[in-house]
Amino acid sequence: MANAVIATSHASLASGVYSAVKMIAGEFENLKIQEFKENDNLDEFDQKLKENYKSLKDYDNVIVLADLAGGTPFNRAVMTLGDLPNVRVIAGLNFASLYQALNSSGNLDDSVEEIINIGRESVIQYKNENEIEDDNFEDGI
C-alpha cells in the first residue's frame, strides 16, 4: 500500500508545491496539507497534526514532509507524531521530494531514504559547457 504524506510548511509553501505536483501528475488522495501561518496557535497546530494523522489511518505509514529542519512545522511534527512507530518526519519539501513521497510504498525507512536522495539530487546548478574558460588575458584578447 502507498504511504500517506502530511506536507507541512510555513505560509503556503506546501499547497504551492502540491499545486505544481498536481498539475503534472494529477490528484493524490494519500496527502494532507498543513501550513503554519502567521499568528497560528501552536496547540491548534498540534491538534490538527493529530487529526490529519488519524484521517490517514487507512495507510500503513505516514511520512511528514516539512519545509525546513528546525522550523516550527518540523519541530511540532517531531513533538506530536515523531514517536509513533509508523511515522517518519523529514525536512526538505520540494517538488521532487513531495512527488516521490506521494508515490512511495513498502518499507518506510527505505521510502524515506529514497525521498531524501531524490530531493537532494533535484537541487542542481546549471553549468554552461560552452562557456569560455577563464584564461589569462593580461595582454588583452
Mean of pLDDT values over 34-38: 97
Q: Which domains does the chain have, with CATH numbers?
A: 4-121 (3.40.50.510)
What is the spatial distance between Cα 52 and Cα 72, in angstroms, rounded to a whole number? 17
Please list the helix, strand and coil fractions of the chain in percent, rounded to the nearest 5, in that order: 40, 20, 40
pLDDT more than 90, % of the chain: 90
Beta-carbon-side half-sphere exposure of residue 7 (alpha carbons within 13 Å):
28
- Using one digit for the tens of pLDDT, what is the confidence trace for 45-97? 999 999 999 999 999 999 999 999 999 999 999 999 999 999 999 999 999 99
Q: Dmax of the chain from CA atoms?
A: 72
> Taking the complete model, does pTM exceed 0.75, yes or no?
yes
